[in-house]
Amino acid sequence: MQKLNEERAIANGSGCYARWFAQLDKTDPVILEDFAMTPLTDSARRDLIEVRRDW
């Protein structure tokens, strides 16, 4: 989960979020290890909901 959140933040900051999201969408299955071990930022929470909604 921490790596996913870091990659999301980097992709969002570098302007390649759509491409990163498209790559993630092709990944099957996604396992969210260590979920909720650390607090999520508001943007991370929204992005996680968007990823989940897309499945």
Q: What pLDDT does 52 receive?
A: 67
The sign of the CA dihedral 3, 19, 54, 44 is: positive
Look up residue 41 and give its DSSP letter. P
Q: What pLDDT does 41 receive?
A: 84
Short-list 53, 54, 47, 55, CA closest to 4: 47
Number of domains in the chain: 1
Q: What pLDDT does 24 receive?
A: 78
- Print the domain residue range for 47: 2-54
Block means of pLDDT (10 residues each) for the chain, 55 residues, are 83 86 76 72 81 62
Q: What pLDDT does 26 receive?
A: 79
Q: What pLDDT does 30 receive?
A: 64
- Amino acid present at 17: Y
